[in-house]
């Protein structure tokens, strides 16, 4: 990775999307734990946690310019997409907001990966 101005801008857009996704997933998982029918939310909670973790890891790797970031971005796209699809199944506002953040993050990762 290079530290040219163009890549710094691209990195910042990706970092912003990754960090928004982490926050949305953490919020969604916590809110799901308070839902009345929590057993229906277990897949959502699991994916929220996985998605938050992979996004946080990728953000750290991108921020430090690690050569491993591009490889893990592919996994991040897959997890974000799965999380978005699961969250979209639920009508709770926190799930819908999480689905949107996950979709945006997956798209930012695709743009970054080229």
Tens digit of pLDDT for each residue in 42-71? 999 999 999 999 999 999 999 999 999 989
Q: Per DSSP, which regions of the chain are E strands?
A: none
Residues 114 and 106: their CA atoms lie apart, in Å, by: 12
Distances (CA, A) of 69 to 1, 6, 18, 32: 9, 17, 12, 30
pLDDT given for residue 114 in this prediction: 84
Question: What contacts 24+ positions apart, CB below 8 Å, involve 69-75?
Answer: 69/1, 70/113, 73/109, 73/112, 73/113, 74/113
Percent residues over pLDDT 90 in the chain: 82
Question: In CATH, what is the architecture of 11-113?
Answer: Up-down Bundle (1.20)
């Amino acid at each position: 990775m290079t530290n040219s101005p163009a890549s710094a801008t691209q990195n910042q857009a990706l970092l912003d999307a990754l960090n928004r996704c982490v926050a949305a997933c953490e919020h969604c998982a916590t809110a799901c734990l308070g839902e009345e029918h929590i057993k229906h939310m277990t897949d959502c909670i699991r994916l929220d946690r996985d998605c938050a973790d992979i996004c946080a890891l990728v953000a750290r790797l991108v921020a430090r310019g690690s050569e491993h970031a591009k490889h893990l971005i592919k996994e991040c796209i897959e997890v974000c997409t799965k999380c978005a699809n699961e969250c979209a199944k639920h009508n709770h506002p926190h799930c819908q907001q999480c689905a949107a953040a996950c979709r945006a993050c997956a798209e930012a990762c695709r743009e970054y990966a080229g």
